[in-house]
């Protein structure tokens, strides 16, 4: 109901009477009043007078009602340990495909390869629960689709020349703008769920992690609405993931990556590979040409671009 009330107040841009709202939405005036009160508590500037209500401002908080298409599938938490933990609980309880857990900040944000992910207020931190009809070995396709959807969103709506760094980081220039982490549970050779967690440096910049990072705010020299960004990304991703089973994601992904033909160093827990990234195969693995000319297939790891 809150999304409907907000939509009316946003469209009218003027005072709307409680009576009119109640008739239009077919709920009592007391219910309208309660919803308005709750919205005010949540930071919406709603002026109320004898004539009715007027929306003077909205907080940039990704509350569920800001995403009408997701209202029953999206939960916002001001603070969590990690949206990955929350999403895992949801997934195990049977949350439907494309449910989303968003947090204002994370106290124990997790990065890839057991790193931490600094999650201060101002960034966007969320995990999507996905139930694609895919064999576990093809689960990388949803990760590729998600990083591609984010790169497209950043290019299309924010004119940021975003590129994917294998496997799923988003860079602007050579600086990291976003990272992605995924977790999966399988049963009898089928994916039960894949949870994809995305952290985007929107208005805050992670510090002290040894990563060369940049925020959207620093690039655009203005604050960016997290609500708008999440809405745009979800809309894009939902379309892109629709036919993921049959889609040739890898070919499309190659149009968005800056990794191919670059000198790279790939680091895993126990080894390092140096060479030139030549291609990505149909399983999402990076094909690296070693100094001797031999091609090595790398299936996971942190990729560092080497100076040219």
Residues that bind ligand BTN (CB under 6 A): 82-84, 106, 109-112, 115, 117, 125-127, 169, 179-181, 197-199
| Shortest Cβ 95–ligand BTN spacing (Å) | 16
**Residue 267: what are its φ and ψ, rounded to 5°?**
-115, 130
**Residue 103: what are its φ and ψ, rounded to 5°?**
-130, 150
Comparison of 58 and 182: residue with beta carbon closer to ligand BTN? 182
**Residue 183: what are its φ and ψ, rounded to 5°?**
-135, 145
What are the helix and strand counts (H, E) for the chain? Answer: 8, 14
Closest of 121, 154, 117 to residue 237, by C-alpha? 154
Q: How many CB atoms lie within 10 A of CB 178?
A: 24
Comparison of 58 and 143: residue with beta carbon closer to ligand BTN? 143
Comparison of 111 and 132: residue with beta carbon closer to ligand BTN? 111
Closest of 224, 235, 171 to residue 202, by C-alpha? 224
Closest of 27, 25, 30 to residue 6, by C-alpha? 25
| Shortest Cβ 272–ligand BTN spacing (Å) | 18
| Alpha-carbon gap, residue 120 to 226, rounded angstroms | 13
Comparison of 58 and 178: residue with beta carbon closer to ligand BTN? 178
| Shortest Cβ 178–ligand BTN spacing (Å) | 8
Angle CA 198–199–201, to nearest 5:
145
The residue written with tokens 């988003």 in the block is: 170
| Shortest Cβ 107–ligand BTN spacing (Å) | 10
Closest of 286, 281, 295 to residue 248, by C-alpha? 281
Comparison of 52 and 206: residue with beta carbon closer to ligand BTN? 206
Return the residue nearest ligand BTN (CB atom). 179
Comparison of 58 and 106: residue with beta carbon closer to ligand BTN? 106
Comparison of 110 and 152: residue with beta carbon closer to ligand BTN? 110
- Report whether 202 contacts 178 (CB < 8 A): no
| Shortest Cβ 290–ligand BTN spacing (Å) | 26
- Residue 80, beta-bridge partner list: 106
| Shortest Cβ 31–ligand BTN spacing (Å) | 34
């Amino acid at each position: 109901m809150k999304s409907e009330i907000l939509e009316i107040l946003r469209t009218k841009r003027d005072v709307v009477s409680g009576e009119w709202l109640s008739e239009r939405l077919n709920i009592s005036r007391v219910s309208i009043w309660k919803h308005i009160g709750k919205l005010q508590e949540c930071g919406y500037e709603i002026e109320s007078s004898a004539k009715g209500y007027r929306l003077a401002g909205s907080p940039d908080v990704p509350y569920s009602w800001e995403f009408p298409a997701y209202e029953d599938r999206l939960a916002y938490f001001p603070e969590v340990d990690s949206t990955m933990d929350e999403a895992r609980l949801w997934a195990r309880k049977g949350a439907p495909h494309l449910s989303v857990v968003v947090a204002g900040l994370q106290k124990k944000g997790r990065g890839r390869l057991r790193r931490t992910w600094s999650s201060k207020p101002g960034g966007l931190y969320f995990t999507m629960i996905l139930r694609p009809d895919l064999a576990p070995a093809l689960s990388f396709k949803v990760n590729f689709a998600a990083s591609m959807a984010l790169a497209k969103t950043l290019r299309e709506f924010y004119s940021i020349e975003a590129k994917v760094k294998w496997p799923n980081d988003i860079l602007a220039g050579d600086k990291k703008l976003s990272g992605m982490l995924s977790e999966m549970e399988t049963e009898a050779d089928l994916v039960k769920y894949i949870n994809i967690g995305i952290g985007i440096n929107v208005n805050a910049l992670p510090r002290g992690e040894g990563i060369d990072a940049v925020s959207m705010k620093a690039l655009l020299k203005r604050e960016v609405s997290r609500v708008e960004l999440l809405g745009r990304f979800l809309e894009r991703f939902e379309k892109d993931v629709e036919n993921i089973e049959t889609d040739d994601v890898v070919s499309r992904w190659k149009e968005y990556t800056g990794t191919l033909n670059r000198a790279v160093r790939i680091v895993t827990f126990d080894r390092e590979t140096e060479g030139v990234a030549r291609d990505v195969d149909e399983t999402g693995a990076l094909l690296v040409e070693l100094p001797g000319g031999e091609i090595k297939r790398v299936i996971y790891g942190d990729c560092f671009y080497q100076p040219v």
